[in-house]
Amino acid sequence: MSNKNELMVVTGADGFIAGSLVADLRRQGYTRIRAVGHKPLDQWAQLFPDVENLHLDLKLRENCETAARGAAKIFNLAADMGGIGFIEKNKTACMLSVLINTHMLLAAQKFNVQSYFYSSSACVYNAGKQTDPNCPGLKEEDAYPAMAEDGYGWEKLFSERMCRHFREDFGLRTRVARYHNVYGPHGPWFGGRERAPAAICRKVIEAKLNGHSEITIWGDGNQTRSFMYIDDCVKGTQLIMDSDILESVNLGTTEMVTINQLIDLVESFAGTKFKRVYDPTASKGVNGRNSDNTLIKKMLNWEPTIPLRQGLETTYRWIYEQYVAREKGERLYA
């Protein structure tokens, strides 16, 4: 376990997951945290005055060295990404995140960082394994032969291998988790980078508050996914960092639902039903994706367990408050 006086570095800290990780490290009593983000500080999802907050573009090698200097552990969660609507239209931007991980690995090697965590994605998995909505669960070996999500998925898969080779060639202790559809408070909920749970919450809230009778759904609603609540993600990230798992490992739930079932849940929180207008021309991603948790359970005797209903209701309430605040012209997180 970590010495709580050692320097913990978290990149991507201006965003949802990394910002929540910083918050959790603070709660645990870590006294030296360096949070690094690309956005100006007043645009961060969560900002803490007792943390060393750095506004840096980590695509630049010199900035990665500034971020890594003196660190005991680095949690590299920085990437230019969003939901399926964003990554399908911004492939170059997603691919350029390869500079972040490459330069952060070089900096970690240079400054003899003890441990390095990289956040990968279920988008690395072979698309041919995700054509059936009744996806039985993607095992770690299903990433090969490679046929990753174009742009974002290929960058993640390449960066996974960079971590592996820095471990094998230079002895840098690297750990990699493949995140599956993370959601929760402080995540983006409008503007194009939001993921399905937040987007659907927003659509239902907007329809309810504005007296609309219908909502638009991307695809046919039969696509399947598993969704992981942010608390499970943050806990799993730290467990994997401190584990003996050398290979890239799934971090997600096995509670698979259709998009239509996800909408059913959100409508239950709103206390109303809406006509669903399906848009088959919109981005919808693969037909079926679910996490196989055999490896993580074997290695950690743990897996994400927060039920979708529980986490989604908390998320819905948070987005509702944010939506009302936006309508009043108050500051909010997008």
First to last CA, the chain: 34
Catalytic residue among 30, 125, 152, 323: 152
What is the C-alpha separation between 285 and 333, in angstroms, rounded? Answer: 25
Instruction: Tell me, yes or no, if 278 is annotated catalytic.
Output: no
Q: What is the C-alpha separation between 210 and 208, in angstroms, rounded?
A: 6
3-state secondary structure the chain: CCCCCCCEEEECCCCHHHHHHHHHHHHHCCCCEEEEECCCHHHCCCCCCCCEEEECCCCCHHHHHHHHCCCCEEEECCCCCCCHHHHCCCHHHHHCCHHHHHHHHHHHHHCCCCEEEEEEEHHHCCHHHCCCCCCCCECHHHHCCCCCCCCHHHHHHHHHHHHHHHHHHHCCEEEEEEECCEECCCCCCCCCCCCHHHHHHHHHHHHHHHCCCEEEEECCCCCEEECEEHHHHHHHHHHHHCCCCCCCEEECCCCEEEHHHHHHHHHHHHCCCCEEEEECCCCCCCCECCECCHHHHHHHCCCCCCCHHHHHHHHHHHHHHHHHHHHCCCCCCC
Beta carbons of 332 and 322 less than 8 angstroms apart? yes
For residues 133 and 223, the answer to whether their CB atoms sit within 8 Å is yes
Q: So which residues are the catalytic ones?
A: 152
